[in-house]
Amino acid sequence: MVFSLFFPKIPLDLSIKPLIGMIHLPSLIQPLDMSHTLEYIFEISMQDAITLEKAGFDALLIENYHDMPYPKYRLDDIKFLLMSTFVKKIVEKVNIPCGINILRNACVQALIMATINQGSFIRCNIYEGAYVTDQGIIESVADEVHQKFKEMRSKVKILADIHVKHATSLGDFSLEEAATNALSREGADAIIVSGRTTGELIEIAKLKNFMEITRIKPILGSGLTISNLPDVFPYISGAIVGSSIKITDLSSPIDIKKAEILVRNWKTEKKSEEGSKR
């Protein structure tokens, strides 16, 4: 079967150095009661989406963060359909590109979900190599993703983590080698680098060294804050932000003031960088 009618509502333009905000969906597996209904999940997720768009983010990324523990490769059907329903509603509501990350590494399902709901991109945590994680050993799914990509004639972009957080590589590939594997051998549209854990920043010296060796500016996958933005900005091609724009922790809503300040500072750095190139 060929799905030729599904195109992203708004494609993700990687050339603009996008600032991507996180939507951490509430748990889809907790018992549904008066305080945790599907309407509740929808309302707070939609509010975060509206907040990100209002603050001026270039795109948003929807993730099942609160559904721990995560399966290695595939959500069960009920959670997949529930998440897809929320994704569809968010894509229809906002006018910025929307992406999907299904933890731990359900990248094929993420591609299907993004494609049929007119999403713009996916984040794939383990796209190259093999890693030891808290879910056990997880291997690359690049081939499976590309097979589904071709089958569906998808236009969704693939953002691939390298040396992904909460994991340790089973091989001795350097960060630079992992980048080559993901981009040149596995066909990712862009790569993502992060710190070791959620909200942690990669060492700036390591990031700078990576860029100088490869001439590649990766997307920063974690750790961006208002205070470290000037230090990391020259070495990245975009950023995914979650922890630092929450009111308190990852279970709380996005703080509109924090989000707006980060966007304003991001745009200032972009303007300065563009000016220096002229």
pLDDT band at residue 97 using 50, 70 and 90 as cut-offs: very high
Mean pLDDT value across residues 36-49: 89
Domains of the chain: residue spans and CATH: 14-269 (3.20.20.70)
How far apart, in whole angstroms, are the C-alpha atoms of residue 46 and residue 86?
8
Q: What is the pLDDT of residues 122-164, one digit of tens each?
A: 999 999 999 999 999 999 999 999 999 999 999 999 999 999 9
How far apart, in whole angstroms, are the C-alpha atoms of residue 174 and residue 48?
36
pTM higher than the cut 0.85: yes
pLDDT band at residue 28 using 50, 70 and 90 as cut-offs: confident
Residue 131, φ and ψ in degrees, nearest 5:
-135, 145
Q: What is the pLDDT of residues 189-224, one digit of tens each?
A: 999 999 999 999 999 999 999 999 999 999 999 999
C-alpha triplet 61, 68, 179: angle, nearest 5°: 50
Quick check: 30 pLDDT over 70? Answer: no
Percentage of the chain beyond pLDDT 70 is 96
Question: Which of 137, 189, 127, 136 has its CA nearest to residue 164?
Answer: 127
> Using N-to-C axis directions, what is the helix angle for 38-55 and 256-277, rounded to 10°?
40
pLDDT for res 105: 98
In contact, 17 and 224? CB cutoff 8 Å: no
How far apart, in whole angstroms, are the C-alpha atoms of residue 275 and residue 278?
6
How far is the CA of 200 from the CAs of 160, 195, 243, 260, in angstroms?
18, 5, 9, 21
Please, what sign has the CA dihedral across residues 220, 225, 226, 230? negative
Judging by DSSP bridges, how do beta strands 190-193 and 136-139 pair with one another? Answer: unpaired
pLDDT band at residue 100 using 50, 70 and 90 as cut-offs: very high
pLDDT band at residue 41 using 50, 70 and 90 as cut-offs: confident
